[in-house]
Structure 1
Amino acid sequence: MISQETALLLARSQFAFTIGFHIVLAAFTIGLAQWLMLLEGLWLWRKQPVYLNLYKYWSRVFALNVAVGVVTGVLMEFQFGTNWGALASRAGAVMGPMMYMEVLIAFFLEAGFMGVVLFGMGKVRPWVHFFATCVVAAGSIFSAFWILSANSWMQTPAGFVTGADGRFQPVDWWAVIFNPSFPYRFAHMTIAAMLAAACLIAAVGAWHLLKHPDNRGARLMFSWGLWLLLAAAPLQAVVGDLHGENTRDHQPVKLAAMEGSWNPPPPGQGEPLRLFAIPDMQAQRNHAELAIPNIGSLYLRHNLSGTIHSLNQYPADERPWVPGVFFSFRAMVGLGLLMIFFGVAGLVTRLRGKLWSARWLQRGMVAMAPAGFFAMLAGWLVTETGRQPWTVYGVLRTAHSASPVAPSLVLTSFIAIVLVYLAIFAIGLWFLLRLLGRAPQGDEKEANAEVAEQTGSGITPQSIRGRYDA
């Protein structure tokens, strides 16, 4: 016999499983859409066939990603009405309109122009096709806007009142949408999507460069991926610091779990930087702690003596699962530092004229292919598990948000979803590896024929010679 506590854990695990798969696909859609827009813009500007070939190369990946992502997104949405009926009932007046706007404005905006992007090349004017690509790219950002606004409201609720029936009623939509954590969360997630795409793009380019060092498309992917890492990874560190300050002010117990801070430091000392520890929920302390005194205050308070709230200042039933938050945060930060390293390493080797011969860098980037997605998942574990035991922070507990569904049904649906998702992702991953395993087109005569077919222009091989390196 499954208890209600186990049923709640199963419902939470089911949602974590589905959102974990879906967020990877959604973020990849955002990053790829911007990449396609960049490629087509460069093709229209420079008229170099390599950009058109890469656009077609990655548009197939984009189509596959969207197809799988739609399936996972639909299943995730249905969970609100099955496992989380109480949350939908109490918070539906606030969250419902935002989810509606995501579908109405973002999803249909993407879907409406997707056909032109995937099948319109050579059938519509070049500027019309580029406009469609830009609309799809903007639609992916709009989608993230509304989803993250709804999620951020659950983290830092604002602009509502609670009625006599316990339901939340919006009174200020501006405060609801632009709640205190939304700007930081939106910026952080958008940049994370770009970084995930940049890591994969650079990794694919590096993979093919290791086999075909003179392939122009591979060189361009590798080069642009490293440029994007160099630009976005340090920016993400700055945005992450600002997001941390927001968390400190609005969700202090989450920050305490991220830092593994059970008790305040001695008077006159700042927060330590805990490089490693094993948090113990029962003993309410850390084991095997390795820390640098006072350094934590530098990024927490921007001085050497500032402190934060500690876990033991809160009741035990208001603390999240500290080990999960603690280790996930360090995984996210560690992967972020690796991205900064590879971005800087790419710049140094580029300036030394050794970008194409630096095999160690290329092999390193191949290993970094999933780094952006792993960092993103680690960040979401911090965000969502750090919010517990609340669904709407400080207002509605997770235990009071679940539907009164028989535990056996929750278990059955969970097993079914796991089987379906694993099958879908296995097939999708197989096709993805097949697509990316093929080297991008690199023969100039073949590329020239492709350009003539797509544009009807008289471009010749001589007119497109020159440097293809980004």
Structure 2
Amino acid sequence: MQSSLSAFDLARLQFAFTVSFHIVFPALSIGLASFIAVLEACWLKTRKPFYKDLCLFWSKIFAVAFGMGVVSGVVMSYQFGTNWAGFSSFAGPVTGPLLMYEVMTAFFLEAGFLGIMLFGWNRVSPRAHFGATLMVAIGTLISTFWILASNSWMQTPQGFKVVDGHVVPTDWFKVIFNPSFPYRLAHMAIAAFIVAALVVAATGAWHLLKGRRDAAVKKMFAMALGLLLVLAPLQAIVGDAHGLNTREYQPAKIAAIEGIWDTEQGGTALNLFGLPDMEAETTRYAVKIPHLGSLILTHSWDGEIKGLKSFPAEERPNSTLLFWTFRVMVGLGILMIVLGVAGWWLHRRGTLYESRAFQRFALAMGPTGFVTLLAGWITTEAGRQPWVVYDVMRTSQAVSPLTTQQVSVSLMTFVVVYFLVFGTGIYYMLKLMRSGPALPGERARSAPAAPAAPIAPAPRIASQPASQPARRPTRAADQLIDA
């Protein structure tokens, strides 16, 4: 059997590859930036040294993730002109300004204060440094706002008209605050915090398994689990609201996600598992739960869900793909809720830092935030197909007039370069995580060196008081977590 991919298919594959690499780094940096800001606020309030140790430790990892996010984002921007010139020409009057607003408000804010955040510990006052850290954290969230506004407009477009083959904005408020934007913004922001929380929890679990019991390791482990306890259930609630919104504006996507082909009267069953077959127009080996589909998707016992057969064949998303990416996302989300609840229960029992089985569970869950993020992204973006701007412009109309050879060469180049560059960056981040925050006796050696003439004196908390020994007993370090 002979099969070949067209230039259009390769262009889609290339964009999927590059955006998959890109999305994980901003998600991690968004969550870490806010986590570092909270740690620094705790240090300013309590002056407990392990908070600063954690700030210095996670700032290194944040810097690597931020840098790789910027580099991968630049590549994506160029692809709009090289591979998707039709889309840029048609929708540029909307997406162009939105991306410009992201650069002018978010990127400039992050770039302006990032240097102070990373290198200004002994060069500016503690409050000024905290202000810089806060600005970087706010900048990442502003960036999320504009990127999600642009992407959400492509999902549920409004506030425009088409003139001479180009989109012309008529109401910027409607363009930005389109029907899916609030749900998708909340869903993505929470996902970024969960990604970071799982990475922090896994790092803490690694060092607990290696025998560390100092305050810094305990604190980051407990803080990450506390955040998961709150955000994982909240994400399920936001996801449910997002699903109701998707059913209203993109009903074909919901039918594909659930593998529903026929519109059922009097209540829709939920296909818990199965194998959707696009050619046969059926879901094989389906394990059904009567009425549960209506309860989840309409919040009523007999709510009606349109089946895929209600839509023209050329306008149906790929149910085989969406059915499983959605279930990967939901299944891992349930495990995240279990992780948060189990951590709370062990904390109540006083065995959170001693349960090696739970620590192994937390360590194994570390990468699942990225897997869930990618599964959710595939569900959202593939579910929009065959539209690049939903119900306005088809993806086939957006591609540039390129040859298969041209796209093949660029795709292979991206694969090689990305695995070399970003593989090295990921390896370095893992190496940093493995090193862990400074031990109490190492603070003086790990703190940044003071400049010859600092703007403000370095805080005394960076080193041990002269009246205390260089290394505290392990028991004393353990007691810091309860102080």
1:117·1:129 contact (CA, 8 Å) conserved in 2? Answer: yes
Match of 2:459 among 447, 455, 458: 455
For 2:203, the aligned partner's letter is: V
Q: Deviations over 1:207-258 (max 9, x none)?
A: 0001124122211111111001001001101100000000000000001111
For 1:197, the aligned partner's letter is: A
Q: Distance in 2 between matches of 1:334 and 1:65?
A: 27
Q: Distance in 2 between matches of 1:21 and 1:469?
A: 40
**TM-score normalised to the size of structure 1?**
0.95
Q: Deviations over 1:386-415 (max 9, x none)?
A: 000000000000000011122211111111
Q: Does 1:254 align with 2:253?
A: yes
Q: Does 1:386 align with 2:399?
A: no
Secondary structure in 2 aligned to 1:161?
strand
Q: Distance in 1 between matches of 2:132 and 2:443?
A: 23
Secondary structure in 1 aligned to 2:203?
helix
CA separation of 1:469 and 1:198: change in aligned 2, threshold 3 A: farther
Secondary structure in 2 aligned to 1:403?
coil
Q: Does 1:107 align with 2:107?
A: yes
Which residue matches 2:237? 238
For 1:65, the aligned partner's letter is: A
2:438·2:446 contact (CA, 8 Å) conserved in 1? Answer: no
Q: Distance in 1 between matches of 2:446 and 2:261?
A: 63
For 2:63, the aligned partner's letter is: A
TM superposition shift of 1:456: 3.5
> What is the 5 A alignment of 1:288-437?
288-437=285-434
TM superposition shift of 1:469: 4.8
CA separation of 1:448 and 1:431: change in aligned 2, threshold 3 A: closer
Which residue matches 1:286? 283
Question: Quick check: 253-262 or 425-434, which moved more?
Answer: 425-434
Secondary structure in 2 aligned to 1:262?
coil
Q: Deviations over 1:31-54 (max 9, x none)?
A: 110111011111111101101001
CA separation of 1:127 and 1:404: change in aligned 2, threshold 3 A: same
Q: Deviations over 1:136-193 (max 9, x none)?
A: 0000001111011000000000000011x11110000000000000000000000000
- Which 4+ residue blocks in structure 1 deviate beyond 2 angstroms? 2-5, 445-454, 456-467
Secondary structure in 1 aligned to 2:36?
helix
Q: Does 1:220 align with 2:219?
A: yes
Q: Distance in 2 between matches of 1:22 and 1:104?
A: 20
Q: Distance in 1 between matches of 2:295 and 2:345?
A: 28
Q: Distance in 2 between matches of 1:106 and 1:301?
A: 37
For 1:216, the aligned partner's letter is: A
Q: Does 1:19 align with 2:32?
A: no
Which residue matches 1:467? 480
2:57·2:436 contact (CA, 8 Å) conserved in 1? Answer: no
TM superposition shift of 1:451: 7.6
For 2:459, the aligned partner's letter is: T
1:3·1:407 contact (CA, 8 Å) conserved in 2? Answer: no
- Provide structure 1 residue ranges, at least 5 long, that are not aligned to the other structure: none
TM superposition shift of 1:442: 2.4
Q: Deviations over 1:89-125 (max 9, x none)?
A: 0101111100101111111110111100110011101
Q: Distance in 1 between matches of 2:33 and 2:381?
A: 26
How many residues in Structure 1 have an aligned counterpart in Structure 2? Answer: 465
CA separation of 1:384 and 1:181: change in aligned 2, threshold 3 A: same
> What is the 5 A alignment of 1:114-125?
114-125=114-125
C-alpha RMSD of matched pairs (Å): 2.0
Which residue matches 2:455? none
Q: Does 1:150 align with 2:159?
A: no
- Provide structure 2 residue ranges, at least 5 long, that are not aligned to the other structure: 451-457
Q: Distance in 1 between matches of 2:259 and 2:302?
A: 17
1:153·1:177 contact (CA, 8 Å) conserved in 2? Answer: yes
TM superposition shift of 1:5: 6.7
TM superposition shift of 1:353: 1.0
Q: Distance in 2 between matches of 1:168 and 1:316?
A: 27
Secondary structure in 2 aligned to 1:287?
strand
Match of 1:441 among 427, 438, 442: 438
2:443·2:464 contact (CA, 8 Å) conserved in 1? Answer: no
For 1:45, the aligned partner's letter is: K
TM superposition shift of 1:273: 2.0
Q: Deviations over 1:310-354 (max 9, x none)?
A: 100000000011111110000000111010000000111111111
Secondary structure in 2 aligned to 1:354?
coil
Q: Does 1:91 align with 2:95?
A: no
1:223·1:469 contact (CA, 8 Å) conserved in 2? Answer: no
Q: Distance in 2 between matches of 1:199 and 1:449?
A: 29
1:157·1:179 contact (CA, 8 Å) conserved in 2? Answer: yes
**TM-score normalised to the size of structure 2?**
0.93
Q: Distance in 1 between matches of 2:362 and 2:386?
A: 38
> What is the 5 A alignment of 1:59-74?
59-74=59-74
Q: Distance in 1 between matches of 2:174 and 2:436?
A: 49
The percent identity for this pair of structures is 49
TM superposition shift of 1:132: 0.4
Q: Distance in 1 between matches of 2:482 and 2:255?
A: 46
Q: Distance in 2 between matches of 1:193 and 1:355?
A: 25
2:169·2:175 contact (CA, 8 Å) conserved in 1? Answer: yes
